[in-house]
Structure 1
Amino acid sequence: MAESEERALLENLLHSSSLEKKLRKTIASGQKSVVISYDEIVEFDERLAKFLMENPKTFFYQADSILEGITSIRGTRLRVRGLDRSVDIKDLRAKDIGRFIQIEGILAKASDIRPEIRIATFRCKRCGEMYKREQLGDYLIEPLFCENPNCKAKGTGAFELVLESTEFCDWQSLGFQDPPSKLRGGRMPKQLSGIVRDDFVDRAVPGDYVIATGYLQPLQELGKKKKVLDIIFMVNHLEVPKKGVEEAELSPEDEQLIKEMIKDPEISDRIVQSIAPSISGHEVIKEAIALQLFGSDPVELPDGTRIRGDIHILLSGDPGTAKSQLLNWVSNVAPRGVYTSGMKSTSAGLTATAVRDEIGKGWMLEAGALVIADGGLAAIDEFEKMDKEDSASILESMEQQTISIAKAGIVARLNTRAAVLAATNPKGGRFDPNINYASQIPLDPVILSRFDLIFILRDDPKEVDDSRLTKHVISLHSKPKSVKAPIPPELLRKMIIYARKNIHPTFTDKEAQQVIADFYTRQRKLAAQSGHPLPMTVRQLESMIRLAKAHARLRFSQKVTVEDARKAISLVDYCLKQVGVDVSTGLVDIDTITTGIPKSQRDKMMTVLQIIEQLEKEYGGAAPIEQVKRMALSQKIDEDFVEWVIETEKNRGILYSPREGMIARVK
């Protein structure tokens, strides 16, 4: 098809009545982009659609030129959306260069918005003649020579750019990567750099799932003649779909099959039995993971406060207790599941960071694992190895489910609405049953308290368990096909998507509310009456409500019942009796988790501090440490504990040592 014929077809399309209506609406709204679907072009003329697919750069140059002529508005652009299929970023090859394509994925990076020269104005330094040059390439192009017959200046440095008369457009650099659902089997995500201009900048933020159309263009650096080139995706249209990629996986046939399956009264048990069937045991943990996968809805309060619905679970255990295998399995099944390590695998780590933009040479925001997992689940192995930067922002990420960034001039708040399934090893490599478990988990108590459920996994030699595990492992190697789940992983994934989309349990049943309320108040009342430590706080109350809602969703019920409430209570109680017990008293003490110091230990600390205060008065300002130890020993507090208290409180700025062998309170 000749160029004149192509342009004539474009003229006819853009002057059609349907396009004129869109154009008037666009101009009235103050926008400059006219959006049409690819199907509209096909319906108008298949030859024009073929021209677009094979020569998108020429197609849009001509279309934009025609639109500017129609509207008399500089920068009016044609945007085409809705191709029949998308190309996975990992599958892009040299054959795709120069063709019109559509990609779907996660926006992993976004730069700040910068001005780009569209029409440059130059002044001849010798005679002052002015010239305008349209800038179509990646580098600024000056006039070759002055056209003034009395001047004829030419060469580098003959012209200067007149910024006051130069026309600019908005420009933004982006980074795309395949969504987690495309990266199963441990594949590394492929990234694609892109550029978006005009009124389509700032349409999405890192972590958003996006659909974008455009074309690939090789990038050759000025003055270099490399054979191997980088490619840039020149974005024509970009949108954040209201329906996520996960929902798009559900076909009408899938929905009909799931509707039949959930008629089974034992469906929740079948789902739990389908969690990581290749891993022996851990039945309670698998039940908790099933609840995490199905999740509960967040609560939006009238004052703008948001109470998260995602469930956070921590697995802390000895080596060889299948923590990493569980995380891997869950991340592969969870919709928008991301598997990562606490050790930085990217510059963004778990949260987000500012990185250098290789295209525009400025700064851009790069999303970390929790941002990319927004709306899904983040499985984080070796959680204790996150760096200080991630540790400081993980609290906001887990509770408020946002990340606040203020780096390199970029100020942003990104969503991290994801459930966290984390795994750690104990401080000593293995758990010591004679020491409080919470104190052996290498996490700050403040972070520890953000988990709804904490499970301790011990490699405890027991003949019955070891025999069962041995048979299971041997069967995995001898008869791998015999390990079958009641529900295959792909179908289970679709059931989770269906439940999240259609099942929204309400917590309005008075009896279910009373069951949780009675358990919570009874536990606290008994502790208060007996002088025992508090077994739970409001955090555990909220966890029980979240778990009850998730259990109702697991049953595909729109209503939380007493059964759901009791299941939530049993899970929270199970975990507290594992990780929240003070081994010196045998009592559940929530402070072992929230502060790292149980009540029994805190009482002894107070005794030591009171002894110091008493001796300060006797000795006129400072207490002899040896005397403190002797008086503490008379109250059955050993020397090691006294030394630990002194060191701890010195670090906190409560005590100081005025001279060798003496200790005093900071006043």
Structure 2
Amino acid sequence: MALTNSDLREILENFLYSSSFEKKIRKAVASGQKSVVVTYDEIVESDEKLAKFLLENPKEFFRLSDSLLEGITKIPGMKLRVKSLDKSVDIKDIRAKDMGKFIQIEGILLRASEIRPEIKIATFRCKRCGEEYRREQIGDYLIEPLVCENPNCKARGANAFELVLENTEFCDWQSLGFQDLPSKLKGGRMPRHLDGIVRDDFVDRAVPGDYVIATGYVQPFQKFGKKEKILKMVFIVNHIEVPKKGAEEAELTPEDEEKIKELIKDPELTDKIIKSIAPAISGHEIIKEAVALQLFGSDPVELPDGSRVRGDIHILLSGDPGTAKSQLLNWVASVAPRGVYTSGMKSTGAGLTATAVRDEIGSGWTLEAGALVIADGGLAAIDEFEKMDKEDSAAILESMEQQTISIAKAGIVARLNTRAAVLAATNPKGGRFDPNMNFASQIPLDPVLLSRFDLIFILRDDPKEVDDARLTKHIISIHSKPRSLKAPIPPDLLRKMVIYAKKNVHPAFTDKEAQQLIQDFYTKQRRIASQKGHPLPITARQLESIIRLAKAHARMRFSQKVTVEDARKAIQLVDYCLKQVGLDVEAGVVDIDTVMTGMPRSQREKLMTVLQIIEELEKEYGGAAPVEQVKRIALEKRIDEDFVEYVIEEEKKRGTLYAPKEGLIARVK
């Protein structure tokens, strides 16, 4: 039997006047809050019919409950908020049948507009006689009086009344945008979006990139003056919160935790984890080990002065075509908690970070989160990283190191969190790597951006009989016996292991032997550089990378302490990468400036020699130096013509050299 209005009022009054609810009211009033929050279970315990009515008729329920609350508290605008429904509806599963029903959604807050005033009770004045009228505004558009009720006036028409702002009541209004959780998207499904509106004291409760749980109801929205059949769905938020427990932690069940605790006892655990990374990809064992460490990550370090040292590990894969870079990125993004996959080719600075966009509902500006903000607390896999232009690359420098992104667009100034590990892939300039050229000269990325990566791997497709035979056998087995590629740990369980480890395992870096091993490695490498003529093989950035990797390795072992073995593994990985990407091909030694500045010491010395030759010739000729003379003297110093031309062109781009006439070169003074 359906509840009548009088029945509903009576049941609601019994609930609102109950002793437990009175305590909530007193607490809310004492703290100056404009809302009283209850759980759905509390309403069920009070009266199941009332709870059912809420689910079926939320607009009527809250209209009456808010009116009663205002009467009880004598506070205008007092609201009842209901949270914690039994289950959530995935955004992608919301349909027309859900309109007008009270539901709960979970998702990523994709965007949030500026806070704007919305008219609740409008005061209108007749332009002819001055009579004033107050009208409650319930719908989406401002409703004016049709005719002046003054019998001596009777003015009517579109311009008969004016809005009296000083006597009009407002409430805070904000439009939101929700997106499906990455973990809810299987099989490469596109994430679904849902627009929302939140009012009063619950505005600004979350920022773009936050994982949120919200209750409310969906209603159709049609722009004023439009008569389209296809309408937009808008979620009217009743309650919204950023839960302390992340969406990923909520996936863990007691049964999952028991399975993980059993696996932890396995002495071959780390080997099994590494073998479970992208089993469909043959080889690349050391890269898979690095990716496993990236998944587990390490804790950030919060310093007393408020600064923060990141714990997330950034990895760059740079290689020839057909070396499974994209396949690995896709796999990692699908397994990583809160993993996001995107491509640099179609990602503007906004697409990767954040931007201000026009709000379709309120016609203002909203702050919209990009891939790195959505991946906050997880991992961002960015393919074709080199396809971004320089502005876009510069936009993520702050994001990768400080793990925040600062936005100042369209009057919106904000700072959003981007606490995500970055796994990026690039292609070399010429399509394939040339082993006779330095790494940095073949990668179209700014050296400053390259230096943000903890590990950089080169994937070469060199013909080797043994490797080619193994790869052929592996690919054939994929097509003939796909089940033979079963991983030791299934992807879903591996994902839950990462979630469990991040929640419960926080390795302490207190072992003196581990500290000494890292210190000895660092000082030994630096000692080599102190000898005359030797380049610098390592900097403090690599030292921090080693510590991050050591802590991640300890976490992957589910150990609360970093040991010598963890430190040794971290050193091996960093040393391996340095010898790959930091090698000065010409000098045959590791030079970290190859990555940090894009030019090894041997080339930098030759560059300085060329510039010195130009300076001396300027003095000799009393003006610009002849280019042919520069080349001749450089050749005598064993510097070939191609390098001289390279230096001249690069320095002209930088604005330190210019050509006053053809065949002449001069310094900008």
Q: Return the alpha-carbon distance in structure 1 between the equivalents of residues 533 and 545 of structure 2.
A: 25
User: Percent same amino acid among aligned pairs?
Assistant: 81
- Kept in 2, the 8 Å contact 1:117–1:169? The answer is yes
Given the superposition, is the C-alpha separation of residues 389 and 193 from structure 1 closer, same or farther in structure 2, using an over 3 Å criterion? farther
1:648 alignment partner, SS class: helix
Partner of 2:166: 164
3-state SS of paired residue (2:362):
coil
SS state at 1:518 partner: helix
Residue ranges of structure 2 left out of the alignment (5+ in a row): none
Which residue identity is paired with 2:474? H
Which of 69, 72, 77 is 2:71 aligned to?
69
Counting only pairs closer than 5 Å after superposition, residues 297-446 of structure 1 correspond to structure 2 as 297-344=299-346, 348-446=350-448
Any conservation in 2 of the 1:180–1:336 contact (CA below 8 Å)?
A: yes
User: Which residue of the partner structure matches residue 575 of structure 1?
Assistant: 577
> For each residue in 1:343-392, what CA deviation from the matched residue of structure 2 results, as whole angstroms up to 9, or x when unmatched?
23588310000000000000000000000000000011111112444222
Q: 1:226 to 1:105 in 2, by over 3 A?
A: same
* TM score, norm. by length of structure 1: 0.99
The superposition leaves residues 564-612 of structure 1 with CA deviations (integer Å, 9 ceiling, x where unpaired) of 1110000001011111111111111111101111111001011111111
Q: Which residue of 2 aligns with 1:458?
A: 460
Task: Give 1:515's aligned residue.
Answer: 517
- Tell me which amino acid in the other structure corresponds to 2:575: D
Match of 1:149 among 145, 148, 151: 151
Moved more, 634-643 or 296-305: 634-643
Q: Identify if the C-alpha distance between structure 1 residues 574 and 346 changes in structure 2 by more than 3 Å, giving closer, same or farther.
A: closer
Supply the distance in 2 between the matched residues of 1:369 and 1:564 (Cα, whole angstroms): 32
Is 49-58 or 525-534 further displaced after alignment? 525-534
Contact 2:440/2:599, CA 8 A, preserved across alignment: no
C-alpha distance in 1 between matches for 2:407 and 2:244: 25
State the one-letter code of the partner of 1:32: K
Alpha-carbon distance in structure 2 between the residues aligned to 1:573 and 1:48: 66
Amino acid at match of 2:169: E
Q: Contact 1:23/1:34 (CA < 8 Å) preserved in 2?
A: yes
Q: How many angstroms apart in 2 are the aligned matches of 1:91 and 1:373? A: 22
The residue correspondences of 1:488-503 to structure 2 (distance < 5 A) are: 488-503=490-505
The Cα of 1:16 is off from its aligned counterpart by 1.5
SS at match of 1:348: helix
Give the corresponding residue for 1:258.
260
Give the Cα separation in 2 of the matches to 1:458 and 1:156: 73
Contact 2:347 2:388 in 1 (8 A): no
Give the aligned partner of residue 247 of structure 1: 249
Are 1:37 and 1:81, in contact at CA under 8 Å, matched by a contact in 2? Answer: yes
Deviation digits for residues 262-312 of structure 1 (CA, Å, limit 9, x no counterpart): 011221111111111111000000000000000000000000110000000
Name the CA distance, whole Å, in 2 between partners of 1:156 and 1:658. 70
Cα contact 1:126–1:153 (8 A) shared by 2: yes
How much does 1:150 deviate? Answer: 1.7
In the alignment, is the contact (CA less than 8 A) between 1:454 and 1:579 conserved in 2?
yes
Q: CA deviation at 1:524?
A: 1.3
**Contact between 2:375 and 2:418, CA under 8 Å: does it hold in 1?**
yes
Moved more, 339-348 or 49-58: 339-348
Higher deviation after alignment, 653-662 or 179-188: 653-662
TM-score by length of structure 2 reads 0.98
Structure 2 CA distance for partners of 1:560 and 1:112, relative to 1, 3 Å: same
Do the aligned residues in 1 keep the contact of 2:314 with 2:422 (CA within 8 Å)? Answer: yes
- Residue 95 of structure 2 corresponds to 93
Cα distance in structure 2, aligned partners of 1:115 and 1:232: 19
Q: Which runs of 5+ in 1 are unaligned?
A: none
Shift of 1:254: 1.3
CA deviations over 1:123-166 (Å, ceiling 9, x no partner) = 01111111111101000001121121222222221111000110
Query: SS at 1:343's partner residue?
Result: helix
> What amino acid is aligned across from residue 397 of structure 2 in structure 1?
L
Name the amino acid aligned to 2:249.
Answer: E
Q: Give distance in 2, aligned partners of 1:539 and 1:451.
A: 9
Q: Deviations over 1:456-486 (max 9, x none)?
A: 0011111100100001000000111111111
1:205-234 residue CA offsets vs partner (Å, 9 max, x unmatched): 000000000000001233333221111000
Q: Distance in 2 between matches of 1:610 and 1:345?
A: 42
User: Which residue does the alignment assign to 2:15?
Assistant: 13
After TM superposition, the structure 1 stretch with the greater mean CA deviation from structure 2, 363-372 or 635-644, is: 635-644
Note the C-alpha offset of 1:651: 1.7
2:596 is aligned, of 594, 597, 600, to: 594
Look up the SS of the partner of 2:523 in the other structure.
helix
Mapped to 2, the partners of 1:245 and 1:324 lie a distance apart of 27
Structure-1 separation of matches of 2:527 and 2:369? 45
1:551 maps to: 553
**Partners of 1:507 and 1:549 within 8 A in 2:** yes
SS in structure 2 of the partner of residue 485 of structure 1: coil
223, 226, 234: which one aligns with 1:224: 226
Residue 135 of structure 1 pairs with residue 137 of structure 2? yes
Q: Which moved more, 1:217-226 or 1:11-20?
A: 217-226
Choose 379-388 or 313-322, whichever is displaced more.
379-388
Does the residue aligned with 1:474 lie in a helix, a strand or coil?
helix
What amino acid is the match of 1:278? A
Return the letter of the residue paired with 1:255: E
CA distance in structure 1 between the aligned counterparts of 2:464 and 2:661, rounded to whole angstroms: 54
Distance 1:196 1:152 in 2: 38
Distance across 2 between alignment mates of 1:628 and 1:554: 57
Contact (CA 8 Å) 1:200, 1:237: kept in 2 or not? yes
In 2, Cα distance between the equivalents of 1:184 and 1:538? 41
Distance in 1 (alpha carbons) for counterparts of 2:182 and 2:666 = 56
CA deviation after TM superposition for structure 1 residue 4, in Å: 1.5
Query: For the residues of structure 2 that align with 1:237 and 1:275, how far apart are their CA atoms?
Result: 40
State whether residues 278 and 328 of structure 2, in contact with CA within 8 Å, keep that contact through their aligned partners in structure 1: yes
| Residues 147-296 of structure 1 mapped to structure 2, 5 A cutoff | 147-296=149-298
Cα separation, 2, equivalents of 1:152 and 1:202: 44
Q: 1:448 aligns with which of 444, 447, 450?
A: 450
Corresponding residue number in structure 2 for 1:114: 116
CA shift at 1:412, angstroms? 0.2
Residue 650 of structure 2 is matched in structure 1 by 648
Residue number in structure 1 paired with 2:618: 616
The question of whether the paired residues in 2 share the 8 Å contact of 1:343 and 1:349 is answered with no
Shift of 1:183: 1.3
The question of whether the paired residues in 2 share the 8 Å contact of 1:349 and 1:390 is answered with no
Counterpart in the other structure of 1:43: 45
Tell me the SS of whatever aligns to 2:351.
coil
Match of 1:629 among 628, 631, 634: 631
CA drift at 1:539: 0.5
* 1:7 CA drift (Å): 1.6
Matched residue type, 2:352? L
Equivalent residue letter for 2:44: V
Q: What number of residue pairs does the alignment pair up?
A: 667
Task: Identify the match of residue 641 of structure 2 among 639, 642, 646.
Answer: 639
Partner residue of 1:665 out of 656, 664, 667: 667
For residues 418-464 of structure 1, the C-alpha deviation after alignment (integer angstroms, 9 at most, x for no partner) is: 00000011111111111112211121111001000000001111110
User: Is contact 2:581–2:595 with CA below 8 Å preserved after alignment?
Assistant: yes
